Amino acid sequence: MENIDKIFRFVEESGFSFNPDILEAGLINILGLIAIVVSVGKDLIGSILEERETTIGQSIQDAENRLNEAQKRLTEAQKQMIQLSVIINDIKNDTLATKKNMLKVDANEAKMDLKFRFERALLAFKSKERQIFFEIKEQITSLVLTRTVSRVKETFAKEKPTAKLINNTIRTLELPS
């Protein structure tokens, strides 16, 4: 209402009057309308723009604050990441060392097992060698004894009296070789 009063006051003060000829008064009307709108809306638009400017400034400030906060958080996160990297590296190194030790223990156990198996195989090999040696030796002894006994039996059967033969043999055995 106050604005409408202002408009009419402005029209009266400026010496404007209503022109009913539309074609003649079109441009003037439009210009007048613009002038009226600018004059009347100046405060309103000004206040809106000020408010808008304040809002935008506030938003920019908020955005800057948020940016700063985000940068702080980023810095903290980077620090934490570095610390975590150090911790992870430590854990990795410890894990690697533990793994190496455990693998070494397993490898040593396997070596001992293998050594034991080779020793057992060697013993089996030596035992077999000894067994075969004794078998051959026994076979030789058996053959020699069999032949000798046979020969002795033949000799004893041929020569009589046997006492003479036995005495001769004992004498021969007593002589130094």
d(Cα 37, Cα 40) in Å, to the nearest integer? 5
114: Cβ–Cβ under 8 A, 6 or more apart, which residues? none
Residue 130 and residue 122 in contact, taking contact as beta carbons nearer than 8 Å: no
136 binds another protein (CB under 8 A): yes
Q: Which of 155, 160, 163, 164 binds another protein (CB under 8 A)?
A: 155
For another protein, give the closer residue by CB, 82 or 140.
140
Residue 19 and residue 25 in contact, taking contact as beta carbons nearer than 8 Å: yes
Query: Minimal distance in Å, beta carbon 82 to another protein?
Result: 24
Q: Alpha helix locations (H) across the chain?
A: 2-14, 22-158, 162-174
Question: Nearest 5 degrees, angle CA 33-CA 39-CA 44?
Answer: 115
147 binds another protein (CB under 8 A): yes
152 binds another protein (CB under 8 A): yes
Q: Which of residues 92-131 bind another protein (CB under 8 A)?
A: 95, 98-99, 102-103, 106-107, 109-110, 113-114, 117-118, 121, 124-125, 128-129
Query: Minimal distance in Å, beta carbon 165 to another protein?
Result: 8
d(Cα 45, Cα 51) in Å, to the nearest integer? 10
d(Cα 169, Cα 163) in Å, to the nearest integer? 10
Query: Minimal distance in Å, beta carbon 62 to another protein?
Result: 47
Enter the tokens of residue 10.
């402005």
Total residues in contact with another protein, by rule CB under 8 A: 35
Q: Which of 1, 23, 173, 176 binds another protein (CB under 8 A)?
A: 173
Q: Which residues bind another protein (CB under 8 A)?
A: 95, 98-99, 102-103, 106-107, 109-110, 113-114, 117-118, 121, 124-125, 128-129, 132, 135-136, 139-140, 143-144, 147-148, 151-152, 155, 165, 168-169, 172-173
